[in-house]
Structure 1
Amino acid sequence: MSKIWNYFTLSGRIAFCKECDYKKDFPPRAPTTTLATHLKSKHPEQHKQFLDQSTEVKEKSNKEKEKQMTLKRSFEIQSSSKEDNNEVTLKQMRIDLCAQTKSAWDKDGLKTLEVNRAIMEFIAQLQDWSTAGLVVNCRIGSQLQDWL
């Protein structure tokens, strides 16, 4: 809600100035610019206070926006601290290092190998050991490992 209402009272569709007899037709969702203009021209001290209050609200809002980081940005940036003055700086990983880094989900990555093994065990459990035989299942598992 606008800080302008500290200086005006709304009764129905009419806004009354608290400092003088000024009244203005004020339909719902109308901008408060005319009320601020009245303060500026007729009550400069109150207008200055209004501007100060509005600036404080905007600064608080901007500070809150600066504090919020998106999830994407938090994954893209690494934070490191300087030892000499304990400042925290944000830096982005170099592209050549990023290209060399192996992910857990790379072809030979740890997670990929674990999932491959789990899939092979799942498929092996679906086979009837007495009819298919252990050798056939071992070959299937070996082939699956090569394909994956």
Structure 2
Amino acid sequence: MKLLALDVGERRIGLASGVAEIGTALPAGVIHRTRLTADVQAVIEAASQRQSDAIVVGVPYRPNGEESPQTEYVRGFVRALRRQATLPVHEVDEVFSSMEAEGLLRDAGREPSRDKGAIDATAAVIILRRFLESGGGAS
């Protein structure tokens, strides 16, 4: 099963793609946000181009599991995506994924502050890995 993962932010949506059966998760770029309907269509197009079987969206909860205003913001995007997409849309907790992504990029010798898109795409990789590790995408 091919998957497209999303790290949904206010300015960008980080993308990662992978194959569940072999556990791959690779950065796949970013979508620069414009308006909700266009952003949803861009995600659907990205999923189609990658021949994805499902979409995984990282939903930001607080470390204690409670919801925040950002949780509701991303859930609104998920609702719009589910209305338009013909693919299944899964949710996974993405707590601290962006901070973890920044650390990974620093460890690789990159300066995350210079490339916010790289942070978003790497966060999407982390989201996809969490989904796969939780048993999501298992046949």
- With the length of structure 1 as denominator, give the TM-score of the two structures: 0.26
Q: Which has the higher strand share?
A: 2
Q: Name the structure, 1 or 2, with higher relative contact order (CA <8 Å, separation 6+).
A: 2
- With the length of structure 2 as denominator, give the TM-score of the two structures: 0.27
